[in-house]
Amino acid sequence: MSLTYFKRYCMEIDLNGRMYSEPELPSGYTLIPWSPNLLEEHADTKFRSFRTEIDSNVFPCLGDQQGCLNLMSEIARKKSFLPGATWLAQYEEPSDGRWEYCGTVQGIREKIGTGAIQNLGITPGHRNRRLGTCLLFQSLEGFREHGLRRVFLEVTSHNVGAIRLYERLGFRKSRTVYKAVELACS
């Protein structure tokens, strides 16, 4: 085993006075609010979004189907879980009506006035369609509706696309942290 350090950014946004126009969902997509009946769908979408990404090295549970189910169950059981900041994206193929879940985001209340984004993920075949922007917007609106003024998240420094998305919506880097992870030697 060898110890590896992953650089991560803590990013924050102040929701006070921020007014955004709701982004338009791409054709064929729907955002679905949290329901306990969708816990397994959130977990499966989380797994399919992160299993091949660097974050599955930083947080090994994201690279494992059962690990994602355990993580999603843990998030949903927290007293601080915010259903209004938790969404699932669905895509329906117009030509044949087949559909699939393809994006997920969860929110929790960290402390008075502050919320935290948990695991915003889009499955690989649905990236670069502004779906992440739409999910993040809905989550931020959920935090705002619950009276939270600040929202933060952490992102691995190599995830340039996610960092651009967060900065475009107004998040700013507040500090840098390093996550130590034991990786198996090959």
CATH number at residue 94: 3.40.630.30
Which structural domain, as residue segments, surrounds residue 169?
Answer: 2-183
Q: How confident is the model at residue 165, as a pLDDT?
A: 93
Whole-number Å distance between alpha carbons of 1 and 7: 19
| The predicted structure's pLDDT at residue 44 | 97
Contact 128, 67 (CB under 8 A): no
> Mean pLDDT for each 10-residue chunk of the chain (186 residues)?
87 86 92 97 97 88 94 96 97 86 96 91 95 96 94 94 93 92 67
Phi/psi class of residue 130: alpha, beta or left (left: φ > 0; alpha: ψ in -120 to 50)? Answer: left
| Rama region for 128: left / alpha / beta (φ>0; ψ in -120 to 50; rest) | left
Structure pTM?
0.92
**Residue-level pLDDT at 133:** 95
Domain count, the chain: 1
pLDDT score, position 64: 94
In the prediction, which pLDDT does 181 show? Answer: 82
Residues whose CB falls within 8 Å of the CB of residue 124, separated by 6 or more in sequence, listed in order: 48, 49, 52
The reported pLDDT for the residue numbered 174 is: 95
